[in-house]
Amino acid sequence: MNLQRPLLLASNSPRRKELLSSLGLKYKVLVKEVNEDFPDHLKREQIAEYLASHKAEAYTSDITNEALITADTIVCLGDRVLNKPADFEEAKEMLQALSGTHHEVITGVCILIKEQKTVFHDITKVYFKQLSEAEITHYITHYKPYDKAGAYGIQEWIGMVGIARIEGSYFNVVGLPVQKLYAKLEELGIVTL
């Protein structure tokens, strides 16, 4: 795998780092605190793309020859956006709402190079079985999913015992739609084999 310009990942997410490394890409991590508020009028896909693009704008002055990747993953139950839970009770309420139904995970991605910004998203539909209160309590107590949108990680215990099926990219639910990202990096001439 050859990089035509240095790659920067603007994320502290261990999952995104692992996925990017698994693609065989060498990169540096560059992280800034960025406000994650979004305009109320935005709808689901627009929210994910807006947040990824907004994060990238914070790095505009840091980019010379590099390609910067930012991403934001949201969990949508109908029109309701489930963010990261603040505490045990909020995590429990979210998982109870997701139990026995399906929701969509949308990840917005932005690739910023000095000359241009490319923004896209991917959507995966996730189906949960009916979760028992004991399963929900066990998961929150042992895995503390307070850094995860929707209060769960598909790669963790709750995903293994609770997710009946998905439609779309598994990696998108983990936090980065690597297939689409790789295709865009190739299309932009940033990655070659």
- 42: domain CATH number is 3.90.950.10
Domain count, the chain: 1
Alpha-carbon gap, residue 53 to 55, rounded angstroms = 5
pLDDT score, position 123 = 98
Residue 1's pLDDT band, with cuts at 50, 70 and 90, is confident
pTM of the predicted structure, to 2 decimals: 0.94
Distance CA 125, CA 169 (A): 9
**CA 143, CA 138: separation in Å to the nearest integer?**
8
Number of Cβ within a 10 Å radius of residue 70: 27
152 pLDDT band (50/70/90 cuts)?
very high
CA 176 to chain CA centroid, Å, is: 5
Inter-residue contact 123 to 106 (CB < 8 Å): yes
Task: Read off the pLDDT of each residue in 140-165 and give the average, rounded to a whole number.
Answer: 97
Catalytic residue among 37, 40, 72, 147: 72
Residue-range definition of the domain harbouring residue 180: 2-192
Known catalytic residue at 72:
yes
| Contacts for 190 with CB less than 8 Å, ≥ 6 apart | 3, 4, 5, 7, 67, 111, 113
Within 13 Å, how many C-alpha atoms sit on residue 114's CB side?
A: 8
Tell me the average pLDDT across 114-142. 97
In tens, the pLDDT along 12-28 reads 999 999 999 999 999 99
Percent of the chain with pLDDT over 70: 100
* pLDDT tens profile 37-91: 899 899 999 999 999 999 999 999 989 999 999 999 999 999 999 999 999 999 9
